[in-house]
Amino acid sequence: MKELDQHPTNDAATLRFRGISRLALTLSAVVVILGGLSFACREKPGEDETSQRIRPLPETAEILFVSNRDTHSSRREIYAMDARGNNITRITFTNENHFVVGVDASRRYVAATRGTDNKKRLWLLDLQTGEETPLTDAANHAEGRSFSPDGEWIVFWMILSGESQADIYKIRRDGSELTNLTQSPAAIDFDPSFSRDGSRIAFISNTGYPNRFVLKTMSAEGGDVKTVCDPQDAIATERFPAGVYDPSWSPSGDALVFTQPIRFTGEGENGTAGVWHTFKARADGSEVVDLSEAGGHADGAEYLPSFSTDGQSIVLTIRYGPEDPSQVSLAIFIMNSDGGELERLTTASAWDEFAVWIR
């Protein structure tokens, strides 16, 4: 694939190319390359699979993630596990392709992004009743996972059909009161996340001047926008423009973690993804710390970090390995809030990713 251009654009196809779920487009390229290997096999149902498509979270569930460990294809279903990587339980048996997911504080509702790399839709999954409800129109392109603390709202980003602008929206869990929070024709806005008290939303934005993604926060109503991190030394990769991605709040609301590409040589590291680090910053923009460097794990492509409920740990996905896609690994890891004590939680020969802590 050619390098992304270095000039802002509002072309719909380019926005979709840029505005994908973290490294999902890179992963889709791996699927194409793998072609006729084992991922091309038909799905083999789990031994305990029944006609029930959605199952409740077990009591042991502390982390939610998606994986192709049972589908034997590029398609991912939702799983749960405890904080040690044990008691892995499959939650969905849907034949849907899942991307980012999030769960409300009651552990009953899951916000699930389903679809393809180029067209996604936001769904609400009721783990108690098994009901699956689309929250966005199939003609639009939408992605999100973050609930408000009371579970009443979900914040997400969307490109409306026939338009080319990515904006931040929120919608009630029942599908009512769709609200556009950002209406900035000159900017690309996505990756929104509610603070734990519901008062602020973190998101990333690229106005084109400068042409990089900047971490910002706003009120839950869309006002009082503040810049948290503008990485002036940011670099682009083959797939992603320069800047920061994947913001997630600490439980106290005084800090944010996020990711940033910091090295791209074009020589194939981590399956051509380059090297991405996890950073932590105070919500006022001060004290930005490179957790990957501090923790001594500076060579992988890290993304989608998520704080534990007590704020002591961070769960994240790391992609690592050579250019050969058959040798690239995607696994869930956990580290302490300072970046140390990195531990791998999933060890299956599968793509385990997009982990989020269950509140």
- The DSSP line for 263-284 is E--SS-HHHHT-EEEEEEEETT
Which SS3 state, helix, strand or coil, does residue 177 take?
coil
Which SS3 state, helix, strand or coil, does residue 284 take?
coil
pLDDT at 40: 33
Of 18, 37, 66, whose CA–CA distance to 240 is shortest?
Answer: 18
pLDDT at 86: 98
Count how many Cα atoms sit within 13 Å of the Cα of residue 139 in the half-sphere of its side chain.
Answer: 4
CA 119 to CA 117: how far, in whole Å? 6
320, β-bridge pairs? 329
What are 12-28's pLDDT values in tens digits? 333 333 333 333 333 33
DSSP notation for 2-23: PPPPSS----HHHHHHHSSSTT
User: Could you state, in order of their start, the residue ranges of all structural domains in the chain?
Assistant: 12-357
CATH 3.40.50.720, applies to 12-357: no
**Residues, the chain:** 359
CA 337 to CA 334: how far, in whole Å? 9
Q: What is the mean pLDDT of residues 115-129?
A: 96
Q: What is the mean pLDDT of residues 86-107?
A: 97
Q: What is the mean pLDDT of residues 34-39?
A: 31
211, β-bridge pairs? none
pLDDT at 324: 77
Query: Backbone phi, then psi, for 256, in 5-degree steps?
Result: -135, 145
What are 139-190's pLDDT values in tens digits? 999 999 999 999 999 999 999 999 888 999 999 999 999 999 998 888 999 9
pLDDT at 26: 32
Give the H/E segment covering residue 272: helix 269-272
DSSP notation for 295-332: HT--SSEEEEEEE-TTSSEEEEEEEES-S-GGG-EEEE
Amino acid at 208: G
The pLDDT of residue 5 is above 90: no
Residue entry with tokens 């791209």:
264
CA 257 to CA 282: how far, in whole Å? 9
Q: What is the mean pLDDT of residues 260-269?
A: 92
**105 to 166, 198, 251: CA distances (angstroms):** 28, 12, 13
pLDDT at 50: 52
Task: Work out the pLDDT band at 209, boundaries 50, 70, 90.
Answer: confident
The pLDDT of residue 221 is above 90: yes
Q: What is the CA radius of gyration of the chain?
A: 19
pLDDT at 268: 86
What are 291-321's pLDDT values in tens digits? 999 999 999 999 999 999 999 999 999 999 8
The pLDDT of residue 29 is above 90: no
Are 245 and 258 in contact by the 8 Å Cβ rule? The answer is yes
